[in-house]
Amino acid sequence: MADNPGPFAPRGSPAEVEEGRRLAPKFDADGLVACVATDAQSGDVLMVAHMNAEALARTIETGEAWYFSRSRRALWRKGETSGHVQRVKEMRIDCDQDAVWIKVEQAGGGACHTGRRSCFYRAVPLGVRKGAVTLEFRDAEKAFDPKAVYGDPDKPR
Amino acid sequence: MADNPGPFAPRGSPAEVEEGRRLAPKFDADGLVACVATDAQSGDVLMVAHMNAEALARTIETGEAWYFSRSRRALWRKGETSGHVQRVKEMRIDCDQDAVWIKVEQAGGGACHTGRRSCFYRAVPLGVRKGAVTLEFRDAEKAFDPKAVYGDPDKPR
């Protein structure tokens, strides 16, 4: 796998990057692009994570989501611990090629290590001018038991 | 505006951050969180950008999207040049509070400075093991004329 870790073109002019057909990602100073994973059926955002060049190449090659964990500084196949792999139905890249959008079929009921379907299970109220913001749980029911899946609840996903 | 630029709680334990009701964002080394904006009607991802503490506070306060431009190193009210503001219908924050999802009503037909509705107007083919990837334009019709909106086509959004 990933014999060819970088199927990427060099960065060209803005017009080439934005209007061309060559994949020329702009990795940031840490070598990462942002990746949004949405549920291919519902369209809901499941998670936001990052990919380095190898994670992006492996995702393209295998059709399963690979990420780079910033906290663990390690390549990370989504579902390697939980079995909750993400089968990528479609991948898009944005205008300046520094962000990726994948539409996925999420195995195991949920993407979030807390057991929810989505990592975005709390709403931030708007129009708050002063003082602390109180989050509101929304779509926060557990889709699986994280202790059963991960064992140690403090273990990163 | 933004008399209170930081309505944020200090970071607590992982359990407090993940299961609590206090907004305690984890800004990265550059002081940023990632933000995904989706179309409140269609659910499509319109763009991915970043917010610093002030952009996040202003978005919460005003209900309109503010970002921080990494290329320009500047606070950026979405639509300040184009008029294509984003009215935020709902804001979510993720489990570890380092990413934000906003569902927006996009003014002016499109979010992308190239004139498209979404910045994600090219698909990346999957299953490519060797050689260069050729992008496929998808949902790439222009929603507005960027030259008429921005003047100089090389001007950042």
pLDDT of residue A2 exceeding 80, the answer is no
Provide the whole-model pTM. 0.91
Burial of B147 (0-12, 13-18, 19+ CB in 10 A): exposed
Residues 6+ apart with CB under 8 A from A49: A34, A35, A37, A67, A68, A69
User: Helices in chain A by DSSP H: which ranges?
Assistant: 14-19, 53-62, 146-150
Q: How far is CA A19 from the centre of its chain?
A: 25
Range list of β-strands (E), A40-144 = 45-51, 66-69, 74-77, 86-93, 99-106, 122-123, 136-137
- Tell me the average pLDDT across A14-22: 95
Q: Give residue-wise pLDDT tens across range A64-121.
A: 999 999 989 999 999 998 899 999 999 999 999 999 999 999 999 899 999 999 999 9
- Closest chain A residue to B8, measured at CA: A132
CA distance from start to end of chain A: 23
Task: Provide the residue-wise pLDDT of chain B in tens; the chain has 157 residues.
Answer: 444 445 799 999 999 999 999 999 999 999 999 999 999 999 999 999 999 999 999 999 999 999 999 989 999 999 998 899 999 999 999 999 999 999 999 999 899 999 999 999 999 999 987 778 999 999 999 999 999 998 865 555 4
- Phi, psi at B14, each rounded to 5°: -55, -40
Contact A69, A47 (CB under 8 A): no
Residues 6+ apart with CB under 8 A from B98: B25, B26, B27, B28, B33, B34
Set of chain A residues whose Cβ sits within 8 Å of the Cβ of B93? 120, 122, 124, 135
- Tell me the average pLDDT across A25-51: 96
Contact B64, A83 (CB under 8 A): no
B135:A23 CB<8 A? yes
pLDDT for the residue numbered B3: 43
B44 interfaces chain A, CB cutoff of 8 Å: yes
pLDDT for the residue numbered A5: 42
- Closest chain A residue to B59, measured at CA: A126
pLDDT for the residue numbered B5: 42
Q: Give residue-wise pLDDT tens across range B104-147.
A: 999 998 999 999 999 999 999 999 877 789 999 999 999 999 99
Best residue in B73, B135, B139, B155 to probe A by mutation, most A CBs within 10 Å? B135
Contact B109, B84 (CB under 8 A): yes
Contact residues, A window 107-136, toward B, CB-based 8 Å cutoff: 112-114, 116, 119-136
Contact B121, A21 (CB under 8 A): no
Identify the residue whose tokens are 């140690």: A152
